[in-house]
Amino acid sequence: MTQALFQALISGLAVGAAYALVALGFSVTFTTTRTLNFSHGEFVSAGAFVGMSVLFLALGKPISATSFGADLPDGGAQLLALLAALGVMGGLGWLLYVIGVRPFRGHPGMAWVMSTLGFGVILQSIGLAIWGPKPVFVPGPIGDDILRIAGIGVRPQELLTLVVAVVIMLAFDRVMRSTMLGKAMRAVAHSPANASLMGINVNAIMIGAFVFSSALAGLSGFLLAPIAQASLFMGLSVGLKGFSGAMVGGLDNPRGCVLGGFLLGVLESLINLWQAQWRDVAIFALVILVLALRPAGLFGTPRMEKV
C-alpha cells in the first residue's frame, strides 16, 4: 500500500507540474492585464502538435502522420521541436493579445472573454483540419523505459516534467522579486497608469505577459504529449484544471498558482487509487469549498472595494 501511495504521489506531482505551468500562465496575464486567456487549453494542445509535427518532419514524415512507428527522433530534433512549440505558441499569444484582448481592455463589459474563447475555437478547428481528431503517441525526449526507484516505477518524462516545472517556478519567482523586469511587471499589475508615468512601456509588458503565458502553455503541451498522448482535445481538461489550480492557489499569487496546480495533480492521482470516476468530483468539490471559504484562493490577496 505504501508503494502504491508513493507511486501515486510521483505521478500526481508530474501531472500537477503541467497544471502548475498552466496555472502560472493564467496568473501572469491576470496580474498584468486583469484579463485571462480562456483559450489557454487549446494553446496546450496546439503546443503538443506543433512539437510533434517538427519531430515528424525531422524523420521525413508528413506532419499529418499518425504514428512514429519504430523511428525515434534524436536529441537535436527534440530540442528543435521544443523551440518550435515555444516560439509558435508565443507568437500566437502575441496575436491573441493584439486582436483579441487589447481592443477591449479597459472598456466596460467582458468582450475579451468571447474573443479569447473564439480564438480557441478557431485554433482547434484549424488543428482538426491539419491533424485530424486521432490522438498520437509521441516518444519522450529522454526515452520511455520505466525507471525503478525503490521498487516504484517512474517514467523519465514524468521526472522531466516535474523538474522543468520547478525550475521555471523558481526562475520566474527570482525574476519577479530581484530584477528590473519583475519590478516593472509588478508596477503594471498595481497601476498601469502610474507605471506609464514612471516611464514603463506598459503595452510591451502586457504583450510580454501574453507571449510568456502562451509559451508556457506550449511547453506544458510538449511535456504532456509523451505522458498522455497528443490530442487536440486534451487541452480542455488540462486548461480547466490548470485554471482551477490558479483559483485554489490565488490568481494574483504566482507561487500560490503553482502550488494549487501541484495540489490538484496529487489529489487527482490519489483519488485514482480509490475510484477513478470520482477524481473530477473530488477536484471540483475542493475548488468550490476553497472559493466558498476563501474567495481569493488559499494564497491570494482579498481585494477591498471602496464605496
pLDDT tens for each residue of 145-183? 777 776 777 788 888 888 998 899 889 888 888 889 888
CA distance 2 to 243: 31
Say whether domain 2-63+72-293 belongs to CATH 3.30.300.
no
Domain ranges of the chain: 2-63+72-293
Closest to 155 (Cα-Cα) out of 257, 13, 298, 58 = 13
pLDDT tens for each residue of 6-57? 878 888 888 899 999 999 999 999 888 888 899 999 999 999 999 999 999 9
Residues in the chain, how many? 307
Query: Rounded to a whole number, what is the distance in angstroms from the first to the last CA of the chain?
Result: 56
pLDDT of residue 305: 47
CA distance 183 to 223: 30
pLDDT of residue 303: 63
- The identity of residue 108, as a single letter, is P
Instruction: Calculate helix-pair angle for 279-293, 254-274, nearest 10 degrees.
Output: 140
